[in-house]
Amino acid sequence: MTDLALAVVRPGALTTVQDAGRPGHAHLGVPRSGALDLPAARLANRLVGNPEGAAVLETTLDGCAVRPRCAVTVAVGGAHSPVTVDGRPAPWGAPLRVPAGAVLEVGPAVRGVRGYMAFAGGITVDPVLGSRSTDLLSGIGPAPLSAGAVLPLGPPAQPPARVDVQVPWPALPAELVLRVRLGPRDDWFTDTALRTLARGVFRVSSASNRIGLRTDGPPLERAGSRELPSEGMVLGAVQVPPDGRPVVFLADHPTTGGYPVVGVVDGRDLPAAAQAVPGTAVRFVTVR
């Protein structure tokens, strides 16, 4: 019987299993999690014949290496990275057949931060609350990859996509423009602070992670010294901690928080936030 599984050879800096996430459990204190660049994960799945929400590997900055125990079709997308099979160059962004026992390696990202490796049949670790995603904040789901770990694969659902031309992957951001709707706590900030948010140039901080995109730049001044009771947080919330530098909440964000939220980023802009490397310029554009 074919061994539908893959073994981890090099786990990389942070490689996790992700799917479309587990929304709907915030009342239990469980974040939604899921692929940060969901469009990239969905496209990689489509290339190998998977449903768009099948579980994939999400790599961070320096890729990873795995050894499938069966011949399998793979697609690597998201962050632009070199791809090799047993040391030989292989295509990025297109379906790729990897023989059983060969080492598939995704190297360091050339552009972007998070890569996606989709395997025909999907990664079939046990789901938790309806999702196979790793949640770094709560610890729910499979642990981040480690050397020697073995992950099960499902049987292929459909034949891989037939690609005769280069697949149009979304461009990765040279500058991150985030549309933000002010509220619910914008009245906690001075008029000068709101102008700074709309006109200032921030940069992606190296302290960013799956929980939130942290920024460096001009601090936003509060209008008073009040304290805020903990309240519910949503994906894309722009929370402002005491240092005044905005944090954009991403997929593993906490479900509650005690710092004021000056606005909420349009969800359509969050995939680009997942691919913005530290130092990338960030501009917030306020919308109604």
Q: From the first residue on, what is the mean pLDDT of each consecutive set of 10 residues in the chain (288 residues)?
A: 89 98 93 96 96 97 98 97 98 95 98 97 97 95 98 92 69 90 97 97 97 97 91 97 97 96 97 96 95
Which pLDDT does position 172 carry in this prediction? 77
Residue 57 φ/ψ, nearest 5 degrees: -100, 130
- Structure confidence at residue 278 (pLDDT): 96
Indicate the CATH number for domain 175-287: 2.40.100.10
| pLDDT number for residue 161 | 78
Residue 275 and residue 188: Cα distance in Å, rounded? 30
Note the pLDDT of residue 2. Answer: 65
Residue 1 has a pLDDT of 44
Domain residue extents for the chain: 5-152, 175-287
Q: Give the pLDDT of residue 123.
A: 98
d(CA 68, CA 2): 11
Residue appearing with tokens 């992606």: 204
In sequence order, what are the residues at sequence separation of 6 or more whose Cβ sits closer than 8 angstroms to the Cβ of residue 164? Answer: none
